Chains A and B, each alone.
Chain A
Amino acid sequence: MSLLEVRDVVVDYKTPGRPAVRAVAGASLEVGAGEIVGLVGESGCGKSTLGRCIVGLQKLSSGTVTLNGVPVTPVGRRVRPQADLGLQMVFQDPYSSLNPRRRIWRQVADGLINNRSDSTTRRTAIELLEAVGLSAADADRYPHEFSGGQRQRIAIARALAPKPSVIVADEAVSALDASTQAQVANTLVDLARDRKMGLLFISHDLSVIRHIADKVAVMYLGRIVETAPTASLWESRLHPYTDALVRAIPSLEPNAPAPVAPSGEVPDPAAPPSGCRFHPRCPVAMERCGTDDPALVMIDDTRAAACWHQPAGGPAVRLASLELQRRPRFDNESERQR
C-alpha cells in the first residue's frame, strides 16, 4: 500500500443558479515514500483542484484520499488532526504564500510540533531555513526582503517543519524565473529523496517534470488520461493527448521542427464533450470515442491509459502506427524556413 492513495476523486463546484461544474471527474493516483510523482496538465484540467483536495483544502464530492491508510480529513472549523499533519503543501504564488507581517522564522516555526521555549523553537526553525539554502542571518527578516525563489524556499522550510511524509507542490516553480525554477526544483527533489518523503509535483511544464519525476500522471479536463514512468513516457506515449502535449513543446535542438498545436480549444469544463473528453480534438478518434468514455486501465505493469485504442492488459498500441487522419486543423502545420 502506498503512502498516499487517491481513489476516484470527484469534485463538483456548485454556483447558485447554474448547473454544477465537474472540475475533477474521477481521478486516482498513488505516491510512495521517496517517490516523486509529476501531475501534469494545462489550465482548467483540474490539477490544482485535485491537489487542494488531496491536502484537505477542498471538499471532495466523492472518492477517497488516504495517508498511510487513514482517510484525510478536510480542513474545516476544527483543528487539523495530528495524523494529517504529515501531508503538507507548497503553493504557487511566492508573493502570497507568506504572511507579510510576520518574521520568517516564526512562520517556519508554526509547524513545529513541540513549540516549547522560544530559543529551541528558533534554533530548529533556523536549521530548517539552512536546509533549504538560506542562512541564520535571514531568520529575522520579513518576506518582502526576499526574492521569489527565496520565498518559495521559505515556504518549503515551513512545510518541512512538521516532518511530513508527503508534500504536494502546486505549481511551486511556475511563477519563478527559468534558472530559479531549477534551484527550487532541485531543493524539493533533494529533500524528498533525503527524507524519504513522497512528492506530488503539480505543473503544466512537462519539461521540468521530465527531469525530476519518477512517474508522470497526465490530466485532461478533470480526468487522468495516462500514467507512466517518466522514461517510458518520453519513449512513447499511449494517449493521443499526451502525444499532442509533447509535440507542442518547443525544442532547443538545432533545426528543430516547429511545435505543433492540437486542433481546437480546451472545452468548457461545464459542458464537456460526450464520450471521451478528448475526442473532438483527437487525430485518431474513432466512432466509439464520441459515445463511450474510456476508463483509466493498466496496459502493463507500469503504464495506464484511458483510450479506446489501448486495450486493458495490453499489448500497448503505438500511436505512430495508427493511420493519422487529416482532421480540419485550426492552424496549418507550417514548414519553418531558416
Chain B
Amino acid sequence: MSLLEIDNLSIQIRDNRVLVDGVSLTVNEGEIVGIAGESGSGKTVTAMSALGFLPAGATAHGEVRIDGVDLLAMNPKKLRSIRGTEVAMVFQDPMTSLHPMLNIGTQLTEHIRVHQGLGRKAAWARAAELLEMVRLPDPHSALSAFPHRFSGGMRQRIAIASALACDPKLLIADEITTALDVTVQAGILDLLNRLRHETGMAVVFITHDLAVMNVIADRLYVMYGGRIAESGSISQVLNATRHPYTRALIDSLPEGAVLGQALVPIPGEAATPDRRPRGCAFNPRCAFAVDSCRSEVPELRELEVGHSAACTVDPFGSRLDRAQTHRPALSTLEDPHVAS
C-alpha cells in the first residue's frame, strides 16, 4: 500500500470550472515525487487535497488516501490531527510564511506542544534540534530572533523545520525554491535530499522548473489543464518524453534549448480553469494535433512499465530512433558541472 494514493480525483468550483479532472497518483515511502506544471494546471489544488484542503465552495469526487484512509470522507477533527503530524506542507513565499510578531522559538514550539504535548523546556529543546537538522547557523540564538532578521533562504529552512516538527511521513513542498536565488535554492534542494535519506520521509515536490525536478525528484507527474499529461520516472519523462506538452515545455526552457538558437516558446496561452479547450486541453498549442484531439479527451495509457502518457497521437512513440527524443546536450565545451 502506498503512503499517498490519489484516486481519480476531480475538483470543481462554481460555474462548473474544473480545477482537477480525474487525477490519480501515488507516493511511496521515502520517495520524492514531482508534480510539474504551469499556473492553472491544477498542481497546487491536487497537492492541497493531500492535506484534506479543498478550495472554498468546491465539490470533489474520488478519493485521497493517506495510508489507506480517505481524507475527503474524514471528519474535520480527525483531519486536523493528521495535518501537521502525518502530512505537512511548506509554501512558496518565505516572506509571509512566518508570523512577523512572534519569535522563531514561539512559532516552532506552539506547533510542537499542540501535537506532542511537551512542556515548554522540552519543546524549546526539540525546536533547537529541528533548526540544527535544517542547518540553520547558531540555532539557539535563532530561537529568540524574529523572522525579519532572516533572509528568504533561512526562512524557508525555518518553515521546513516547522513542518518536520512532528516527524511527518509526507511533506508537500509547493514551489518552495521558486522565489529563491539559485545559490540558495541549491542549498535547500541539498537539504531536502539529505532529510529524505535521514528520516525516510516522502516528499511531493511541486514546481514548474523541470531542471529542478531533474535533480531532486525520483518520479514525475506532468500536469496540464487539470489532467495528468505524462508520468513516470525522471529519466523516462525527461529523456524518453512521450507527451507533446512535456516535450514542448522542455524545449522552451533555457536549459533544454540549443545554445545559439532562439528559445522556442510554446505558442498560445496556458489553459486555465476559465479557458479550457474541448478534447485534449493542449490541442490548440500542439504541433501534432489532429481532428480527434479537439473532441476526445485522451486517456492516460501506460506505454512501458511505470511510464504513461495521455496522447492519442503519441508522435514520439513509434520511433525506435532515440535521437528524436534525446535532448540536445548543453555546450560541448567544458561542462561546468564536471569537476576537473
Interface of A with B (CB < 8 Å)?
A: 42-43, 147, 149, 177-183, 185-186, 189, 204-208, 210-212, 234-237, 243-254, 256-262, 265-266, 320, 330-334, 336-338
Contacts and interface: CB of A to CB of B under 8 A. Distances in A.
Contacts of B214: 250-254, 256
Contacts of B218: 338
B99 to A, nearest CB: 22
Contacts of A236: 334
Contact of A256 (B215, B264, B266): B215
Given A249-B182, A258-B193, A179 B270 contact: yes
B269 A252 contact: no
A253 B215 CA distance: 9
A244 B209 contact: no
A244 B214 CA distance: 20
A257 to B, nearest CB: 5
A250 B178 CA distance: 13
Contact of A247 (B181, B235, B331, B336): B336
23 contacts: A42-B184, A177-B38, A178-B38, A178-B209, A179-B252, A182-B263, A189-B262, A212-B263, A237-B336, A249-B336, A250-B255, A252-B210, A253-B214, A256-B214, A257-B337, A258-B186, A258-B193, A259-B190, A261-B186, A330-B135, A331-B190, A333-B190, A337-B197
B192 to A, nearest CB: 11
A234 B336 contact: yes
Interface stretch (B10-18, B44-52, B149-157): B149-157
A320 B186 contact: no
A208 B252 CA distance: 11
B265 A179 contact: yes
B327 A256 contact: no
A206 B336 CA distance: 13
Interface in B255-272: 255-257, 259, 262-266, 269-270
Contacts of B327: 252-253
Nearest to B40: A177
Contacts of B264: 182
Nearest to B331: A234
B235 A254 contact: yes
A182 B263 CA distance: 6
Interface residues of B, number: 61
B194 interface: yes
Given A254-B235, A259-B182, A265-B154, 16 more contacts: A178-B208, A178-B253, A182-B252, A182-B265, A212-B263, A247-B336, A247-B337, A252-B255, A257-B337, A257-B338, A258-B190, A261-B190, A331-B190, A331-B191, A336-B193, A338-B234
| Most B CB within 10 A of own CB, among A178, A257, A331, A338 | A178
A250 B210 CA distance: 9
B330 A253 contact: yes
Contacts of A247: 186, 336-337
Contact of A252 (B184, B189, B253, B263): B253
B8 interface: no
Given A207-B255, A211-B257, A261 B211 contact: no
Contacts of A212: 263
B265 A244 contact: no
A28 B153 CA distance: 29
Given A252-B210, A253-B330, A265-B154, A43 B252 contact: no
Nearest to A265: B151
A244 B185 CA distance: 13
B254 interface: yes
B39 interface: yes
Contacts of B185: 248, 250, 259
Contacts of B338: 257
Contacts of B331: 234-235
Interface string B60-102: 0000000000000000000000000000000000000000000
Contacts, number: 167
A206 B189 CA distance: 18
B170 interface: no
Nearest to A233: B336
Contacts of B137: 330
Interface of B: 38-39, 135, 137, 151-154, 181-187, 189-191, 193-194, 197, 208-212, 214-216, 218, 234-235, 238-239, 248-250, 252-257, 259, 262-266, 269-270, 327, 329-331, 333-334, 336-338, 340
A251 B211 contact: yes
A261 B157 CA distance: 14
A141 B86 CA distance: 49
Contact of B153 (A147, A243, A244, A265): A265
Nearest to B255: A252
Contacts of A211: 254, 257, 259, 262-263
B182 A206 contact: yes
A254 B238 contact: yes
A210 B258 CA distance: 11
Contact of B254 (A210, A266, A330): A210
Nearest to A45: B181
B255 A251 contact: yes
Contacts of B210: 252
Nearest to B254: A207
B334 A254 contact: no
A14 B124 CA distance: 39
A256 B331 CA distance: 14
A43 B94 CA distance: 14
A331 B193 CA distance: 11
Contact of A253 (B183, B254, B270, B329): B329
A40 to B, nearest CB: 10
Contacts of A253: 214, 327, 329-330, 337
Contacts of A250: 185-186, 189, 209, 211-212, 214-216, 255
A260 B190 CA distance: 8
A179 B256 CA distance: 12
A43 B135 CA distance: 21
Contact of A186 (B249, B262, B329): B262
Contacts of B269: 147, 149
Contacts of B329: 253
A248 B333 contact: no
